[in-house]
Structure 1
């Protein structure tokens, strides 16, 4: 699918990694470094392109029933916001968030974002190499936590009546956070698959076996490295070095709200116009007296020329029909304009 000429001129050969349809002819183009929002010509605006850099310190989302807004905060350089339809929000937000995380150095340049989950004040991002977790009103800012798959030794899920707890074992400690039950299956699927593919295993059971073998091998190597028989001709007289290990296990639990609050937005209603036709008052002309016209006693009555003929009635009906059809066409045209205006307003114009 070709790109609008105005978008091509701004891209200047830059690679587009994601393209999202926003409704109508409006589109969103995401490159590694920036996001372009293309607005086609409409009733409210001319054709235009807005550019948003991914070098943001904070990403925030405001979501309503019909409309949503994405805000990129650049610190001292201010912030920029653009609107879009609420049903397009998740599709547009994911590539933008990937670009921001890459620009901030949270993920590698060639590391792809697999899925981004938003649970009220918890944002949980699954990439090819790590998990990024952020708690707060923003989708992401500089107060975040990341867990690389190299440091993960176990993954489990604890089901509850309302929420499911994801338990990540990282460097001997457990990191816990909750997800709504309606999203738990997708979280389990995406996270388990990413972790297993990174460690080249087929399932979580295989992953646990691999981790257990690695722990045993590491413990054996540590024991060999820390065994010392001393120096000199009499190794039996030397005192071996005492080995001490300090447990470093801690558990902390982060809780997140289990439902996403939504604020209702008033729907727009449109009342079409009605056309009323008033009856035409007809006037009846009295027939002249036959005696006055000289027909008295002849047995004939004079013809009244004021009475319309069949041809006159047909012509009148046809004329009225043309008027009604013209009014109906005007109403349909006005209705199309109203529907187009509503559609543009819903798309955040």
Structure 2
């Protein structure tokens, strides 16, 4: 792929409908193996946060890695006005906040495309070759370099031999004609794309393969993002409750289906800010769960009942679906269902505070009658 930036301190901005915090953390974990860098903390990704970050930059920062969040048109333009990126990453284009864009994914793509329009014109843009909606991004007229990453489709940087391994994922990548192996300590094939962005950027900036390998291996995930708790008796709780949208929920169900052993319970909460896409998006997730190897489906919240409806319509046995209006009711039901070998996935929009369910199960796992 060659060098992607020269001389000046690179500003690397990450946006996308899902995975942007994880991608940002992976990129930073790799670059800090070599340099003193500035990284935006946690998920502080509003334009006002970027303005504060710009004021915190110091001469000793050799690279800048920031996350650009977006809820409305114009948000990413403002980010770029405060900190103009040399390198831009769009992890994917999905249905997060789609309700703010007329319920259309094309609207989300248009808003995400502000990164392409307002980053350095001669910079480098990284895109997901396997994400069909990324084709909606407005790349025409971009005069910089575009690098694609992928697993299935043709891409500049492609992962092969992807496997679940030791509580994380292993994969191979060819760099300069030589195949290299990498490991990330987080589950889910969707996280391979985040790692590929980190590999592509670091390699293009001249970071050694060994530094990339160590950086990815020591990456620390954010809270409530596919954190697996092992509670004894081979009971596992997958806490992925930080946020949710239809694409992210399906990715989490894939993880449950893959790492679960005996009883697999999907606990899915309402997905917010879907607007006109609310009914379709929730039912789509229910149908997806029905097609996977899921034993029981529990939902939380009024609109999450549409997930249950979608699952029933796709043939999921009605006696294995339960919908709850409150967390306490749901928590008690889960506690009674935690037989040896049970794996429980917890996924929902952050406003539902579903990560507290994982904490409840951890505290009370030994109290089950």
TM-score by length of 1: 0.24
TM-score by length of 2: 0.23
Q: Identify the structure with the greater strand proportion.
A: 1
Q: Identify the structure with the greater helix proportion.
A: 2
